[in-house]
Amino acid sequence: MEPEKLDAIAFGPHPDDVEIGCGGTLVKLAQQGYACGIVDLTEGEMGTRGTVEERCRESAAAAAILNAQIRLNLHIPDAGITASPENRLKVIEVIRRYRPALVFAPYPEDRHPDHGHASLLVTEACFYAGVKKIAPAGPPPHRPARLIYYMVTYEFTPSFLVDISQQLAVKLEAIKAHRSQFYNPAYDGEETFISSKDYLEALEFRARHYGWKAGVRYAEPFWVREAIVLDDLFSALGKNRM
C-alpha cells in the first residue's frame, strides 16, 4: 500500500543519482523508522548505456534495496531539465501529496548540467509548494522544513556529515543494481565516466575520506543554506573528532 505521507523525499535528475549522493543516508533513515521516497525527474533516456526499460527495472531494484516506500518518475526530458512552471508543478504536486519534512536534491553546481538544473527546479518547487495561490485546486500547500543538498561529483564544504559506516554496503549494493550504468563486466556497452571500476572505488574512497574527517568509518556529506541549531551538543558533537 502506498503511504499517505513520507518523512523524506530524495529527488534525482536521473535514475541512480540519489543512490550516489544520499543512498546511505536514506537507508539509515529507513532503519530508524522514517518513511522515505525517491523521485527521479527523468528516465535517463539520453544516457550512453542502458535503455529506458532497463533503467526502470534497475531503479525499482535499487529502491527495494534502499527500503524506499515509493519511487516515482516525473518524465521530464533528459538533458532538458528546466525550472519551467510546468516542471515546477510536477515537483510541487509530489511535495504537497506526501508532505515530507526533509527534501534532498543535488548540490547547485556539478559536472553534469542536469544536476544544477535539477537543483534549481527542486529548490524553487519546495518554496512555491507553500504558496497557497499556486495550483489551489490540488493538495493543500506544504513547504518542507529543510532542503538538503547532496554531493554527486563536484565537492563542496559540507554543512554536516551523516555516519553511514553501517550502511555503506547497502548503498553500494543499490548502486550496483543499476547494472547498465556502473562497472559490470557482463554488460556489453561503451565505457563511460561512471561505468569504470575506478568510479565505484572513488565513491567508497570519498565516503571513507569524509568518515575520517568526522572520526567514523564512512560518511556522506551534505550542504544546507540555512544555519543549523543544535539542542543537544553532546548527542550531535560528543563523538566527533577534533
Cα 213 from Cα 197, distance rounded (Å):
25
Q: Report whether 54 contacts 180 (CB < 8 A).
A: yes
**Phi, psi angles (nearest 5°) of residue 53:** -65, -45
pLDDT at position 186, please?
84
SS3 162: strand
Cα 215 from Cα 163, distance rounded (Å):
9
Smallest CA-to-CA distance from 31 within 147, 144, 163 is with 163
pLDDT tens for the chain, 242 residues long, are 677 899 999 999 999 999 999 999 999 999 999 999 999 999 888 888 889 999 999 999 999 999 999 999 999 999 999 999 999 999 999 999 999 999 999 999 989 999 999 999 999 999 999 999 999 998 999 999 999 999 999 999 999 999 999 999 999 999 999 998 788 888 888 888 888 889 999 999 999 999 999 889 999 999 999 999 999 988 887 776 66
Q: Report whether 97 contacts 3 (CB < 8 A).
A: no
Domains of the chain: 8-237 (3.40.50.10320)
Length of the chain (residues): 242
Q: In terms of pTM, does the model score above 0.75? A: yes
